[in-house]
Amino acid sequence: MRKIMSLEDFKLSVNEIIRNGGQSIALTPLTGDIFADRKGIIKKIEYLEKMDEIKSYSFTTNGSLIDKEKINFLKTTSKLKNVKLSIYGHDKDSFTKITQTNLYSKVYQNLLNIQKNITDFKFKLDIGLRSYMNFNLKTSNSELIVLIKSIAENVNVKLDFHRHYTNWGGYVTKENLNGLPIILKDDKKGYKSGPCARLFDYMILPNSDVILCALEML
């Protein structure tokens, strides 16, 4: 069920985090995009900015809703430490097949706006690119890859390419891939060299429930 935390509950949650000694916040939900909160996300970020006890915050976005207005706003922030930008596909065709949306043009335009403003960002930008197994980042010359590489030339930008996709604890199956040549990774079968890093954090859900590890939701 889709749910967006109210501004009132957000403030209460932030105050509780501060009361327990927290200084850093990650805004990213388990699924979805923070900018889906069209009416409230700016006010929530502004609240983090004015709270002296909060030293930094970060988030992940898929780039579809981070338009020119939001980019201009993010340029004014002082505590935003890191933005992770997840891009699926290496051109229009692969993007459309992987995301099963028609948002390519919108994402591409938003990337153009990021490119124009990248030198004004005070935060670091991590671009996570995911596409097919047979895709080669070095040899591709699609308009999307050319643009992403141009953005990644900035000193505050890091570009990573991944060939695997998480199955979100079994929610995504091979049938959902529609025959696409990508790797579906089951983290439950991965080698565990230590405790889940999330055990040292806690997550506050939109309904204000608190969980100690993201894996509990998978």
CA atoms of 118 and 151, how far apart (whole Å): 7
How do residues 6-25 score in pLDDT, each as one tens digit? 999 999 999 999 999 999 99
Query: Among positive and negative, which fits the CA dihedral 68, 49, 23, 214?
Result: negative
The residue ranges of every structural domain in the chain are 7-217
Mean pLDDT of all residues in 59-65: 95
90 class by beta-carbon count within 10 Å (0-12 exposed, 13-18 middle, 19+ buried): buried
- CATH code of 7-217, in short, is 3.80.30
Long-range contacts of 119-122 (CB under 8 A, 24+ apart): 119/154, 120/75, 121/74, 121/75, 121/156, 122/75, 122/77, 122/78, 122/80
How do residues 135-183 score in pLDDT, each as one tens digit? 999 999 999 999 999 999 999 999 999 877 877 667 778 888 888 888 8
Closest to 161 measured CA to CA, from 59, 64, 86, 70: 86
How do residues 93-120 score in pLDDT, each as one tens digit? 999 999 999 999 999 999 999 999 999 9
- Side chain identity, residue 52: D
Q: Which two tokens stand for residue 82?
A: 């890191």
Q: Which residues pair with 60 in a beta bridge?
A: 84
Q: Helices 104-117 and 143-152: crossing angle, nearest 10°?
A: 30
* HSE value, Cβ hemisphere, 13 Å, CA-based, for 116: 10
Helix and strand numbers, DSSP H then E, in the chain: 6, 9
Query: CA-CA distances (angstroms) from residue 81 to 3, 9, 27, 71, 199?
Result: 26, 23, 12, 15, 22
3-class secondary-structure state, position 175 = helix
With beta carbons less than 8 A apart as the criterion, state whether 192 and 172 touch: no
Mean pLDDT of all residues in 123-140: 93
- DSSP letter at 31? S
Question: How high is the pLDDT of residue 216?
Answer: 43
| pTM for the predicted model, two decimal places | 0.86
DSSP-assigned letters across all residues of 49-103: HH-TT--EEEEEE-SSS--HHHHHHHTT-SSEEEEEEEEE-SSHHHHHHHH-SS-
H or E stretch covering 26: strand 24-26
Average pLDDT score over the chain: 88
